[in-house]
Structure 1
Amino acid sequence: MFLDAYGTPKEVTPDNLDEYPYDLHGVMLLTSADFEVYIPPRWHGTIYSTEELLDTYRKRFKPDCTLLTFHAFEPYEPELICCERCVVEITVLPAGQTLHSGTEIVVFLVKIYEVNTLITKELGTELNFFPNTHHYHVRIMSEGIDILYLDDKVYGVDSACYQQQCVHNLLKKLQPLGVKSLSGKPLPEHLSKICRKVDHNVANK
């Protein structure tokens, strides 16, 4: 998926290309090397992921490297990345193996100003993205997750109930303030009810 000018994730496809303005020199996050991602015509930005996923993706799909730049993150090591209108902090988090093929997948934590956004394209075998033995875990557990973005295809006609259960478990575990879909389409109402409630009396003090 892309990050737009303000660091918000957008799932761009041939069907919705006209709905989402994207920066030709923008940011794309790669969560899996199993499927070829849609790259809009003339786009020549940077694709971010782990070294392993980027290497596997290049070997499998042979993208045009004259137009694209690839940047590898070290897991749990935040980096500052420039979007068109802001600077965001991005961290890649290993998420175990995909349920489709057993290959590695990742999720991304994007910090925009003081807002922590967790972006998931697919949930796999690991929902504990922040290992207790790592210093990064302390920071994230202290700050909390504000918004969880997920692929609304999880709630499609042919979707697996296991993925839906994973989403439910992840929301209960992380207790974000809100949950949104990468496509911008509405998600089932019960997901919002799992999110933590804001104490407006405390927030307004």
Structure 2
Amino acid sequence: MFLDAFGSPIEVTPDNLHEYSYDLHGTKLLTSSDFEFYLPPKWHGTIYSTEELIQNYRKRFNPDPTLLTFHAMQPYEPEFICCERAVVELTALPAGQSLYSDSEILVFLVKQPARNTNILITKELGTELNFFPHDHHYHARIMDEGIDIVYVDDKIYNDPMTNYQQQRLYNVLSNIQPGTVMSLSGRPLPEVLRGACRKSSLAKEHNC
């Protein structure tokens, strides 16, 4: 998915391309090397992921190196990146293997200092649901600050593993206790997920 001008996630597809100005989307997050991602026409920017996912993606889809810029990140090591109207802190978090293949996947944490907001972005849930290892210094920091918004891809509810994925996502939310949970598409999520949100002003603002 892309990050918008303020560092919030946006899914851009051929169906909704007219809603966005593609030249503003200079940042894209690569969470898996299993699928070739959609790029708006004439898009220019940087694609962030780990070295392993980038190399696997290149081997599988052979992207044009003259059109795309890839930036390899170290897991759990935050980096400051510039969006159009904000500087955000981006961290790649390993999420184990995909449930649909043996490929490794990532989730991303975006810290928006100007908004004092921490956002966790998940495209799919893999074999690892503990994104913040207890033996890593990053865990204490995130647990202390808290996660304000968890973004999920609501397409996971449209496959045969629907109930299983919902339960796993509920477990993740119960452990993280975010302020609210939202779908990348903007469509409503199952009401049961809202019960895992902590009670806060942000949760009330988003009707969680």
Q: TM-score range with shorter-chain normalisation? A: over 0.9
Cross-structure match for 2:146: 144
1:181, 1:32 → 2: CA distance? Answer: 18
2:155, 2:138 → 1: CA distance? Answer: 30
- Residue number among 181, 193, 196 corresponding to 1:194 in the alignment: 196
State the 1:161 CA deviation. 2.1
State the 1:157 CA deviation. 5.9
Q: Per-residue displacement from partner, 1:171-194 (whole Å, max 9, x unpaired)?
A: 111000000111111112221222
2:159, 2:180 → 1: CA distance? Answer: 24
1:119-138 equivalences in 2 (<5 Å): 119-138=121-140
Instruction: Tell me which moved more, 172-181 or 149-158.
Output: 149-158
Cross-structure match for 1:160: 162
Q: Per-residue displacement from partner, 1:125-158 (whole Å, max 9, x unpaired)?
A: 0010111111101100100111000001022265
1:151, 1:133 → 2: CA distance? Answer: 29
Cross-structure match for 2:186: 184
Secondary structure of the 2:57 match is helix
Q: Which amino acid aligns with 1:70?
A: F
Secondary structure of the 1:149 match is strand
1:37, 1:44 → 2: CA distance? Answer: 14
2:52, 2:194 → 1: CA distance? Answer: 34
Which sections of structure 1, spanning at least 5 residues, go unmatched?
201-205
Whether the aligned pair in 2 keeps the contact of 1:25 and 1:46 (CA below 8 Å) is no
Q: Which amino acid aligns with 1:2?
A: F
Secondary structure of the 1:88 match is strand
1:15, 1:163 → 2: CA distance? Answer: 26
State the 1:18 CA deviation. 1.2
1:108, 1:189 → 2: CA distance? Answer: 24
The answer as to 2:36 corresponding to 1:52 is no
Cross-structure match for 1:61: 61
State the 1:199 CA deviation. 7.0
Instruction: Tell me which moved more, 73-82 or 190-199.
Output: 190-199
Cross-structure match for 1:203: none
State the 1:22 CA deviation. 3.3
Q: Per-residue displacement from partner, 1:87-142 (whole Å, max 9, x unpaired)?
A: 00000000000000121001000000121100000101001011111110110010
Cross-structure match for 2:72: 72
Which sections of structure 2, spanning at least 5 residues, go unmatched?
203-208
State the 1:25 CA deviation. 5.7
Whether the aligned pair in 2 keeps the contact of 1:44 and 1:68 (CA below 8 Å) is yes
State the 1:24 CA deviation. 5.0
1:25, 1:151 → 2: CA distance? Answer: 19
1:195, 1:101 → 2: CA distance? Answer: 30
Instruction: Report percent identity of matched pairs.
Output: 69
State the 1:169 CA deviation. 0.6
Q: Which amino acid aligns with 2:175?
A: K
Whether the aligned pair in 2 keeps the contact of 1:98 and 1:104 (CA below 8 Å) is yes
TM-score (norm 1): 0.93
TM-score (norm 2): 0.92
Cross-structure match for 1:33: 33
Secondary structure of the 2:6 match is coil
